[in-house]
Amino acid sequence: MITLDIEKCIQCGICISNFEGYCINNENGLPIIDYEICNQCQKCIALCPNQAILMNNVIPQKIIGFDKIGYDDLISLLKFRRSTKSFVQQDIPKDIIEKIANSAKYAPNQNKNIDILIINDPQIIKTIDKNALKFVKRWYGMMFSFKPVTGFISLFSKTLHVIKKKMARDLFIKQKVVKENTNVLLVAIGNPRMPVTEMSAQYLLGTMILSAVSLNIGCTLMDSLKLTINNNKKIKNQLGIKKTDKVLGVLALGYSNEKIINIPQGYEINLYWNEIKSKQKTNAQHRI
């Protein structure tokens, strides 16, 4: 919770000028926080020159000569990041897991009611995998056993044959949904009816992915596990997930069994300035 240390406040007005009329009111020069409006973004803490605004009564760290990560270093990290499909059988130290999970609090999210559940019990992971296999097999049967359903889905997805082949490999060849030797599952949990919850969860997951890569931990998003847990009351109860909450995303962690020796260039993103133009129109303009 954000609070104000009145004794330290010098009434400089910086926080008021940024948030007056929204979540901070001016009462004779003293900032008064409107908790019904405040979304705990902590921007006021970042701006306060006298460290008079606190989060959970913790004095913020003063920035002194802080060097931001350079663009080239950041791009190198992003290029190196790959979804890990195979892990080695090796436990991740608890402090490393906590570093990755705790990094989520620095994500640019607008919902502070998302929890991260850390699952490192092999038996629980095995139970989730077993139920995920059953769940995905049912979906596979529904999608590809009935031609009317397959035909309808194909109207919206031109890569249905690719999805079928990938699902078939996991279900009937590997007979696993959870990647082999997955050491940890990080599960983002929250109430999807709360505003921007789903979007905020993606920011949290993305932040944890980059943290994992920086610590040389392999990771991959597991949407099938998200669907499995949300549709299995027994597993939800076992994990202690409230009825009002849902799994918003699952990140699998482990030491990678893949040796990355080349950096793919990635796909090209079309860039436009001020107006989206069709390729045909752009090409015609070039010919002129």
Q: How far apart are the first and last CA of the chain?
A: 61
pLDDT band, residue 286 (cuts 50/70/90): very low
| Domains, the chain, with CATH or none | 2-55 (3.30.70.20), 74-254 (3.40.109.10)
Helices and strands in the chain: count of H runs, count of E runs: 11, 8
Mean pLDDT of 37-42: 87
pLDDT tens per residue across span 128-170: 999 988 888 887 777 677 666 666 666 556 666 666 776 777 7
Among candidates 175, 189, 2, which has minimal Cα distance to 111? 189
In the chain, % helix, strand, coil (3-state, to 5) comes to 40, 15, 40
pLDDT tens per residue across span 94-125: 999 999 999 999 998 777 789 999 999 999 99
Work out the percent of the chain whose per-residue pLDDT is above 90. 57
Among candidates 22, 42, 85, which has minimal Cα distance to 221? 85
Q: Is 20 helix (H, G, I), strand (E, B) or coil?
A: strand
Q: Can you give the pLDDT at residue 269? A: 87
pLDDT tens per residue across span 173-219: 677 788 889 999 999 999 998 888 899 999 999 999 999 999 999 99
pLDDT tens per residue across span 217-231: 999 999 989 999 999
pLDDT tens per residue across span 49-80: 999 999 999 999 988 877 788 999 998 889 88
**Given the DSSP bridges, would you call strands 115-119 and 53-55 parallel, antiparallel or unpaired?**
unpaired
- Are 140 and 221 in contact by the 8 Å Cβ rule? The answer is no
Q: Is 167 helix (H, G, I), strand (E, B) or coil?
A: helix
Token digits for 27? 């009462």
Q: Can you give the pLDDT at residue 239? A: 96
Among candidates 95, 97, 72, which has minimal Cα distance to 219? 97
Q: Can you give the pLDDT at residue 93? A: 98
pLDDT tens per residue across span 256-285: 999 888 888 878 888 999 998 775 444 444
